[in-house]
Structure 1
Protein backbone atom coordinates (compact mmCIF):
# COMPACT_ATOMS: atom_id res chain seq x y z
CA UNK A 1 0.00 0.00 0.00
CA UNK A 2 1.30 3.43 -0.92
CA UNK A 3 2.47 5.37 2.15
CA UNK A 4 3.37 8.94 3.04
CA UNK A 5 6.70 9.09 4.88
CA UNK A 6 9.04 11.50 6.66
CA UNK A 7 12.69 10.55 7.19
CA UNK A 8 15.75 12.02 8.93
CA UNK A 9 13.79 15.01 10.22
CA UNK A 10 15.88 16.56 12.98
CA UNK A 11 14.50 18.62 15.84
CA UNK A 12 16.01 20.15 18.96
CA UNK A 13 15.08 19.18 22.50
CA UNK A 14 12.56 22.03 22.52
CA UNK A 15 11.02 20.92 19.21
CA UNK A 16 12.52 23.31 16.66
CA UNK A 17 13.48 22.01 13.21
CA UNK A 18 15.31 25.20 12.19
CA UNK A 19 16.50 28.39 13.79
CA UNK A 20 15.98 31.93 12.59
CA UNK A 21 16.35 34.02 10.56
CA UNK A 22 16.70 31.95 7.39
CA UNK A 23 18.82 33.49 4.63
CA UNK A 24 20.99 32.44 1.71
CA UNK A 25 24.03 32.46 4.02
CA UNK A 26 22.22 30.68 6.90
CA UNK A 27 19.60 28.22 5.55
CA UNK A 28 18.85 26.97 9.07
CA UNK A 29 19.15 30.30 10.86
CA UNK A 30 21.03 30.40 14.14
CA UNK A 31 20.87 26.59 14.35
CA UNK A 32 23.53 26.33 11.66
CA UNK A 33 24.28 22.67 10.91
CA UNK A 34 23.99 21.52 14.52
CA UNK A 35 20.72 19.67 13.87
CA UNK A 36 22.29 17.64 11.07
CA UNK A 37 25.79 16.83 12.30
CA UNK A 38 24.64 13.32 13.26
CA UNK A 39 23.73 12.60 9.62
CA UNK A 40 26.79 14.29 8.15
CA UNK A 41 28.91 11.82 10.15
CA UNK A 42 27.29 8.76 8.53
CA UNK A 43 28.22 6.72 5.47
CA UNK A 44 24.88 7.76 3.99
CA UNK A 45 26.34 11.27 3.73
CA UNK A 46 30.00 10.46 3.03
CA UNK A 47 32.03 7.39 2.14
CA UNK A 48 34.26 8.23 5.11
CA UNK A 49 31.30 8.28 7.50
CA UNK A 50 30.29 5.75 10.15
CA UNK A 51 28.16 2.65 9.57
CA UNK A 52 26.25 2.43 12.84
CA UNK A 53 22.81 3.14 14.25
CA UNK A 54 22.55 6.60 12.70
CA UNK A 55 23.49 5.30 9.25
CA UNK A 56 20.96 2.46 9.50
CA UNK A 57 18.19 5.03 9.93
CA UNK A 58 19.59 7.56 7.46
CA UNK A 59 19.74 5.15 4.50
CA UNK A 60 16.00 4.51 4.69
CA UNK A 61 15.48 8.04 3.36
CA UNK A 62 15.31 7.01 -0.29
CA UNK A 63 14.06 3.42 -0.19
CA UNK A 64 10.87 3.05 -2.21
CA UNK A 65 10.28 6.78 -2.73
CA UNK A 66 8.64 7.90 -5.97
CA UNK A 67 7.96 11.61 -5.28
CA UNK A 68 8.67 14.29 -2.67
CA UNK A 69 6.68 17.23 -1.32
CA UNK A 70 8.52 20.14 0.27
CA UNK A 71 7.76 23.65 1.44
CA UNK A 72 8.89 26.87 -0.18
CA UNK A 73 11.46 27.52 2.57
CA UNK A 74 13.17 24.20 1.87
CA UNK A 75 13.54 25.04 -1.81
CA UNK A 76 15.13 28.42 -1.19
CA UNK A 77 15.67 31.41 1.11
CA UNK A 78 13.13 34.21 1.50
CA UNK A 79 12.76 36.01 -1.83
CA UNK A 80 13.72 33.11 -4.09
CA UNK A 81 10.37 33.30 -5.89
CA UNK A 82 11.33 36.75 -7.19
CA UNK A 83 14.58 35.44 -8.67
CA UNK A 84 13.94 33.48 -11.90
CA UNK A 85 17.55 32.22 -11.85
CA UNK A 86 17.16 30.44 -8.48
CA UNK A 87 17.34 26.65 -8.95
CA UNK A 88 17.46 25.40 -5.36
CA UNK A 89 20.26 24.75 -2.90
CA UNK A 90 21.58 21.52 -4.41
CA UNK A 91 23.32 22.30 -7.72
CA UNK A 92 22.33 20.84 -11.06
CA UNK A 93 21.85 17.27 -9.79
CA UNK A 94 19.77 17.47 -6.59
CA UNK A 95 19.63 14.40 -4.30
CA UNK A 96 15.93 13.55 -4.85
CA UNK A 97 15.91 11.86 -8.30
CA UNK A 98 12.11 11.96 -8.44
CA UNK A 99 9.40 14.51 -9.16
CA UNK A 100 9.43 17.11 -6.35
CA UNK A 101 6.39 19.23 -5.52
CA UNK A 102 7.18 22.59 -3.92
CA UNK A 103 4.26 24.14 -2.05
CA UNK A 104 4.34 27.86 -2.73
CA UNK A 105 2.13 30.86 -3.31
CA UNK A 106 4.27 31.70 -6.36
CA UNK A 107 3.66 29.14 -9.08
CA UNK A 108 6.13 28.86 -11.97
CA UNK A 109 6.78 26.40 -14.83
CA UNK A 110 8.33 23.03 -13.93
CA UNK A 111 12.10 23.01 -13.50
CA UNK A 112 13.86 20.00 -15.03
CA UNK A 113 17.33 19.18 -13.73
CA UNK A 114 19.80 16.31 -13.92
CA UNK A 115 19.30 12.91 -12.33
CA UNK A 116 15.58 12.62 -12.94
CA UNK A 117 14.80 15.66 -10.79
CA UNK A 118 11.79 17.71 -11.88
CA UNK A 119 10.52 20.46 -9.56
CA UNK A 120 6.84 21.37 -9.80
CA UNK A 121 5.55 24.47 -8.04
CA UNK A 122 2.06 24.11 -6.57
CA UNK A 123 -0.41 26.30 -4.78
CA UNK A 124 -2.39 23.50 -3.14
CA UNK A 125 -3.65 22.10 0.14
CA UNK A 126 -1.78 19.16 1.72
CA UNK A 127 -4.45 16.72 0.51
CA UNK A 128 -4.40 18.12 -3.04
CA UNK A 129 -0.60 18.08 -3.21
CA UNK A 130 -0.47 14.53 -1.86
CA UNK A 131 -2.98 13.29 -4.44
CA UNK A 132 -0.84 14.78 -7.21
CA UNK A 133 2.40 13.37 -5.79
CA UNK A 134 0.89 9.90 -5.29
CA UNK A 135 -0.18 9.79 -8.92
CA UNK A 136 3.37 10.69 -10.00
CA UNK A 137 4.92 8.15 -7.61
CA UNK A 138 3.01 5.22 -9.10
CA UNK A 139 3.28 2.27 -6.71
CA UNK A 140 6.06 3.91 -4.69
CA UNK A 141 5.73 6.03 -1.56
CA UNK A 142 5.69 9.82 -1.18
CA UNK A 143 8.20 11.54 1.08
CA UNK A 144 7.33 14.75 2.93
CA UNK A 145 10.64 16.55 3.00
CA UNK A 146 9.93 19.51 5.28
CA UNK A 147 10.33 22.05 6.62
CA UNK A 148 8.57 22.08 9.95
CA UNK A 149 5.44 23.90 8.76
CA UNK A 150 4.84 21.41 5.95
CA UNK A 151 5.35 18.35 8.16
CA UNK A 152 3.09 19.90 10.81
CA UNK A 153 0.35 20.63 8.27
CA UNK A 154 0.43 17.06 6.94
CA UNK A 155 0.34 15.66 10.48
CA UNK A 156 -2.59 17.90 11.38
CA UNK A 157 -4.43 16.68 8.29
CA UNK A 158 -3.84 13.03 9.25
CA UNK A 159 -1.82 12.35 6.10
CA UNK A 160 1.44 10.94 7.53
CA UNK A 161 1.85 7.16 7.78
CA UNK A 162 5.50 6.98 8.87
CA UNK A 163 7.41 9.71 10.72
CA UNK A 164 11.11 9.38 11.57
CA UNK A 165 12.29 12.14 13.90
CA UNK A 166 15.80 12.62 15.22
CA UNK A 167 15.96 14.46 18.54
CA UNK A 168 19.28 16.29 18.80
CA UNK A 169 20.44 17.26 22.33
CA UNK A 170 20.54 21.01 21.81
CA UNK A 171 18.14 23.79 22.80
CA UNK A 172 17.41 26.45 20.16
CA UNK A 173 14.82 28.56 21.96
CA UNK A 174 13.30 29.97 18.78
CA UNK A 175 12.70 29.08 15.17
CA UNK A 176 10.39 26.76 13.23
CA UNK A 177 8.59 24.54 15.73
CA UNK A 178 7.24 21.15 14.69
CA UNK A 179 4.74 20.35 17.42
CA UNK A 180 2.87 23.66 17.73
CA UNK A 181 -0.89 22.97 17.77
CA UNK A 182 -0.54 19.18 17.44
CA UNK A 183 -1.94 18.23 20.85
CA UNK A 184 -2.11 14.44 21.35
CA UNK A 185 -0.99 13.74 17.79
CA UNK A 186 0.98 10.74 19.07
CA UNK A 187 -2.27 8.96 19.98
CA UNK A 188 -2.68 7.84 16.37
CA UNK A 189 0.75 6.22 16.15
CA UNK A 190 2.86 3.43 17.57
CA UNK A 191 6.06 5.11 18.76
CA UNK A 192 9.50 3.49 19.04
CA UNK A 193 12.64 5.10 20.45
CA UNK A 194 16.26 4.13 19.72
CA UNK A 195 19.24 5.90 21.26
CA UNK A 196 22.52 6.36 19.42
CA UNK A 197 26.12 6.72 20.64
CA UNK A 198 26.19 10.05 18.80
CA UNK A 199 23.79 11.43 21.42
CA UNK A 200 20.71 11.70 19.23
CA UNK A 201 17.49 9.75 19.73
CA UNK A 202 15.61 8.25 16.78
CA UNK A 203 11.83 8.31 17.17
CA UNK A 204 9.72 6.32 14.73
CA UNK A 205 5.97 7.04 14.55
CA UNK A 206 4.00 4.41 12.61
CA UNK A 207 0.31 5.04 12.03
CA UNK A 208 -1.61 2.23 13.71
CA UNK A 209 -4.00 1.52 10.87
CA UNK A 210 -1.07 1.11 8.42
CA UNK A 211 1.42 -0.65 10.69
CA UNK A 212 2.81 -3.88 9.30
Structure 2
Protein backbone atom coordinates (compact mmCIF):
# COMPACT_ATOMS: atom_id res chain seq x y z
CA UNK A 1 0.00 0.00 0.00
CA UNK A 2 1.35 3.39 -0.99
CA UNK A 3 2.56 5.56 1.91
CA UNK A 4 3.12 9.29 2.26
CA UNK A 5 6.62 10.21 3.46
CA UNK A 6 8.78 13.20 4.30
CA UNK A 7 12.58 12.89 4.13
CA UNK A 8 15.61 15.09 4.78
CA UNK A 9 13.61 18.19 5.67
CA UNK A 10 15.86 20.42 7.75
CA UNK A 11 14.60 22.73 10.48
CA UNK A 12 16.27 25.10 12.91
CA UNK A 13 16.20 24.71 16.69
CA UNK A 14 13.21 27.07 16.73
CA UNK A 15 11.39 25.03 14.08
CA UNK A 16 11.85 27.08 10.91
CA UNK A 17 12.13 25.16 7.64
CA UNK A 18 13.17 28.23 5.67
CA UNK A 19 14.29 31.73 6.45
CA UNK A 20 12.62 35.06 5.84
CA UNK A 21 12.71 37.17 2.65
CA UNK A 22 13.04 34.48 -0.03
CA UNK A 23 14.15 35.57 -3.49
CA UNK A 24 15.70 34.26 -6.69
CA UNK A 25 19.13 34.95 -5.16
CA UNK A 26 18.22 33.53 -1.75
CA UNK A 27 15.89 30.50 -2.10
CA UNK A 28 15.94 29.94 1.69
CA UNK A 29 15.88 33.60 2.64
CA UNK A 30 18.19 34.79 5.40
CA UNK A 31 18.89 31.15 6.36
CA UNK A 32 21.09 30.73 3.30
CA UNK A 33 22.35 27.15 3.07
CA UNK A 34 22.96 26.74 6.81
CA UNK A 35 20.06 24.31 7.17
CA UNK A 36 21.58 21.93 4.63
CA UNK A 37 25.31 21.90 5.34
CA UNK A 38 24.97 18.53 7.09
CA UNK A 39 23.66 17.00 3.85
CA UNK A 40 26.33 18.55 1.62
CA UNK A 41 28.96 16.60 3.60
CA UNK A 42 27.36 13.19 2.88
CA UNK A 43 28.01 10.68 0.09
CA UNK A 44 24.33 11.04 -0.79
CA UNK A 45 25.13 14.58 -1.98
CA UNK A 46 28.86 14.44 -2.75
CA UNK A 47 29.28 11.18 -4.66
CA UNK A 48 33.08 11.20 -4.52
CA UNK A 49 34.15 12.85 -1.29
CA UNK A 50 31.13 12.71 1.01
CA UNK A 51 30.98 10.79 4.28
CA UNK A 52 29.33 7.40 4.75
CA UNK A 53 28.27 7.91 8.35
CA UNK A 54 24.88 8.08 10.02
CA UNK A 55 23.89 11.33 8.28
CA UNK A 56 24.41 9.64 4.93
CA UNK A 57 22.37 6.61 5.99
CA UNK A 58 19.41 8.85 6.79
CA UNK A 59 19.83 11.01 3.70
CA UNK A 60 20.04 8.01 1.40
CA UNK A 61 16.49 6.92 2.27
CA UNK A 62 15.16 9.98 0.46
CA UNK A 63 14.41 8.33 -2.89
CA UNK A 64 13.90 4.67 -1.99
CA UNK A 65 10.51 3.50 -3.23
CA UNK A 66 9.30 6.98 -4.23
CA UNK A 67 6.99 7.23 -7.24
CA UNK A 68 5.79 10.83 -7.05
CA UNK A 69 6.43 14.06 -5.15
CA UNK A 70 4.29 16.93 -3.88
CA UNK A 71 5.77 20.36 -3.28
CA UNK A 72 4.50 23.85 -2.59
CA UNK A 73 4.79 26.88 -4.82
CA UNK A 74 7.54 28.28 -2.59
CA UNK A 75 9.78 25.27 -3.22
CA UNK A 76 9.26 25.36 -6.97
CA UNK A 77 10.36 28.95 -7.35
CA UNK A 78 10.90 32.39 -5.81
CA UNK A 79 8.02 34.77 -5.11
CA UNK A 80 6.45 35.81 -8.42
CA UNK A 81 7.55 32.81 -10.49
CA UNK A 82 3.95 32.37 -11.64
CA UNK A 83 4.38 35.54 -13.72
CA UNK A 84 7.37 34.06 -15.57
CA UNK A 85 6.13 31.73 -18.31
CA UNK A 86 9.67 30.39 -18.83
CA UNK A 87 10.33 29.41 -15.19
CA UNK A 88 10.85 25.64 -14.90
CA UNK A 89 12.18 25.34 -11.36
CA UNK A 90 15.58 25.70 -9.71
CA UNK A 91 17.07 22.43 -10.92
CA UNK A 92 17.95 22.87 -14.60
CA UNK A 93 16.82 20.67 -17.50
CA UNK A 94 17.24 17.38 -15.58
CA UNK A 95 15.70 17.81 -12.09
CA UNK A 96 16.62 15.26 -9.40
CA UNK A 97 13.09 13.90 -8.89
CA UNK A 98 12.82 11.52 -11.88
CA UNK A 99 9.11 11.09 -11.25
CA UNK A 100 5.85 13.02 -11.54
CA UNK A 101 5.88 16.11 -9.30
CA UNK A 102 2.73 17.92 -8.22
CA UNK A 103 3.28 21.60 -7.53
CA UNK A 104 0.54 23.13 -5.37
CA UNK A 105 -0.28 26.62 -6.57
CA UNK A 106 -3.35 28.84 -6.77
CA UNK A 107 -2.34 29.67 -10.34
CA UNK A 108 -2.04 26.39 -12.27
CA UNK A 109 -0.34 26.21 -15.67
CA UNK A 110 0.16 23.41 -18.22
CA UNK A 111 2.39 20.52 -17.21
CA UNK A 112 6.13 20.76 -17.98
CA UNK A 113 7.97 17.61 -19.07
CA UNK A 114 11.68 17.67 -18.18
CA UNK A 115 14.62 15.37 -18.82
CA UNK A 116 15.15 12.27 -16.70
CA UNK A 117 11.51 11.36 -16.16
CA UNK A 118 10.41 14.43 -14.18
CA UNK A 119 7.11 16.06 -15.15
CA UNK A 120 5.82 19.02 -13.19
CA UNK A 121 2.03 19.14 -12.80
CA UNK A 122 0.52 22.34 -11.38
CA UNK A 123 -2.55 21.86 -9.21
CA UNK A 124 -4.83 24.06 -7.13
CA UNK A 125 -6.08 21.50 -4.61
CA UNK A 126 -6.32 20.51 -0.97
CA UNK A 127 -3.58 18.28 0.49
CA UNK A 128 -5.91 15.27 0.36
CA UNK A 129 -6.75 15.87 -3.30
CA UNK A 130 -3.10 16.33 -4.19
CA UNK A 131 -2.08 13.14 -2.40
CA UNK A 132 -4.83 11.16 -4.11
CA UNK A 133 -3.58 12.33 -7.50
CA UNK A 134 0.05 11.72 -6.53
CA UNK A 135 -0.71 8.16 -5.42
CA UNK A 136 -2.28 7.46 -8.79
CA UNK A 137 0.79 8.88 -10.53
CA UNK A 138 3.12 6.90 -8.22
CA UNK A 139 1.71 3.62 -9.56
CA UNK A 140 1.97 1.70 -6.30
CA UNK A 141 5.10 3.37 -4.98
CA UNK A 142 5.20 5.89 -2.13
CA UNK A 143 4.55 9.63 -2.31
CA UNK A 144 7.12 12.07 -0.94
CA UNK A 145 6.10 15.43 0.50
CA UNK A 146 9.10 17.53 -0.46
CA UNK A 147 8.22 20.79 1.28
CA UNK A 148 8.17 23.54 2.06
CA UNK A 149 7.22 23.81 5.68
CA UNK A 150 3.65 24.94 5.01
CA UNK A 151 2.85 21.94 2.80
CA UNK A 152 4.36 19.50 5.29
CA UNK A 153 2.48 21.13 8.17
CA UNK A 154 -0.84 21.04 6.31
CA UNK A 155 -0.43 17.39 5.33
CA UNK A 156 0.49 16.36 8.89
CA UNK A 157 -2.41 18.35 10.35
CA UNK A 158 -4.78 16.55 7.98
CA UNK A 159 -3.50 13.16 9.15
CA UNK A 160 -2.10 12.28 5.73
CA UNK A 161 1.57 11.57 6.54
CA UNK A 162 2.72 8.05 7.41
CA UNK A 163 6.43 8.69 7.98
CA UNK A 164 8.31 11.94 8.55
CA UNK A 165 12.06 12.55 8.83
CA UNK A 166 13.05 16.01 10.02
CA UNK A 167 16.65 17.08 10.66
CA UNK A 168 17.08 19.55 13.51
CA UNK A 169 20.09 21.74 12.81
CA UNK A 170 21.72 23.57 15.76
CA UNK A 171 21.02 27.11 14.57
CA UNK A 172 18.37 29.66 15.58
CA UNK A 173 16.72 31.52 12.71
CA UNK A 174 14.18 33.59 14.62
CA UNK A 175 11.96 34.14 11.59
CA UNK A 176 10.76 32.41 8.46
CA UNK A 177 8.21 29.60 8.03
CA UNK A 178 7.77 27.18 10.93
CA UNK A 179 6.80 23.53 10.70
CA UNK A 180 5.30 23.14 14.17
CA UNK A 181 2.59 25.83 14.20
CA UNK A 182 -0.82 24.28 14.81
CA UNK A 183 0.56 20.78 15.42
CA UNK A 184 -0.03 20.65 19.17
CA UNK A 185 0.11 17.11 20.66
CA UNK A 186 1.71 15.67 17.52
CA UNK A 187 3.31 13.06 19.76
CA UNK A 188 -0.12 11.50 20.35
CA UNK A 189 -0.31 10.43 16.69
CA UNK A 190 3.28 9.38 16.00
CA UNK A 191 6.00 7.22 17.52
CA UNK A 192 9.04 9.51 17.65
CA UNK A 193 12.72 8.62 17.65
CA UNK A 194 15.72 10.97 17.85
CA UNK A 195 19.24 10.19 16.65
CA UNK A 196 22.10 12.64 17.17
CA UNK A 197 25.18 12.48 14.94
CA UNK A 198 28.73 13.90 15.08
CA UNK A 199 27.79 16.66 12.63
CA UNK A 200 25.67 18.23 15.38
CA UNK A 201 22.27 17.57 13.82
CA UNK A 202 19.50 15.46 15.32
CA UNK A 203 17.46 13.20 13.05
CA UNK A 204 13.82 13.10 14.20
CA UNK A 205 11.68 10.32 12.77
CA UNK A 206 7.93 10.22 13.17
CA UNK A 207 6.04 7.00 12.40
CA UNK A 208 2.26 7.20 12.35
CA UNK A 209 0.52 5.01 14.90
CA UNK A 210 -1.97 2.56 13.43
Structure 2 residue 195 is the aligned partner of structure 1 residue 199: no
C-alpha separation between the residues in 1 aligned to 2:7 and 2:108? Answer: 26
Q: TM-score, normalised by structure 2?
A: 0.99
What does residue 167 of structure 1 align with? 168
Q: What is the CA deviation profile of residues 48-102 of structure 1, one whole-angstrom value per residue up to 9, with x for unaligned ones?
A: 1100000000000000000000000000000000000101000000000000000
What does residue 111 of structure 1 align with? 112
Question: How far does residue 139 in structure 1 lie from its aligned partner after superposition?
Answer: 1.1
C-alpha separation between the residues in 1 aligned to 2:63 and 2:121? Answer: 19
Q: What is the CA deviation profile of residues 12-44 of structure 1, one whole-angstrom value per residue up to 9, with x for unaligned ones?
A: 000000001000000000000000000011000
Match of 1:5, SS?
strand
RMSD over aligned CA atoms reads: 0.5
Q: TM-score, normalised by structure 1?
A: 0.98
What does residue 17 of structure 2 align with? 17
Alignment of 1:20-35 (within 5 A): 20-35=20-35
Uncovered stretches (5+) of structure 2, i.e. residues with no partner: none
C-alpha separation between the residues in 2 aligned to 1:140 and 1:186? Answer: 27
C-alpha separation between the residues in 2 aligned to 1:186 and 1:108? Answer: 38
Moved over 2 A (4+): none
Task: Report the number of matched residues.
Answer: 209
Alignment of 1:112-127 (within 5 A): 112-127=113-128
Question: How far does residue 197 in structure 1 lie from its aligned partner after superposition?
Answer: 0.3
Question: How far does residue 208 in structure 1 lie from its aligned partner after superposition?
Answer: 1.2
C-alpha separation between the residues in 2 aligned to 1:93 and 1:7? Answer: 21
C-alpha separation between the residues in 2 aligned to 1:186 and 1:175? Answer: 24
C-alpha separation between the residues in 2 aligned to 1:208 and 1:39? Answer: 28
Question: How far does residue 2 in structure 1 lie from its aligned partner after superposition?
Answer: 1.0
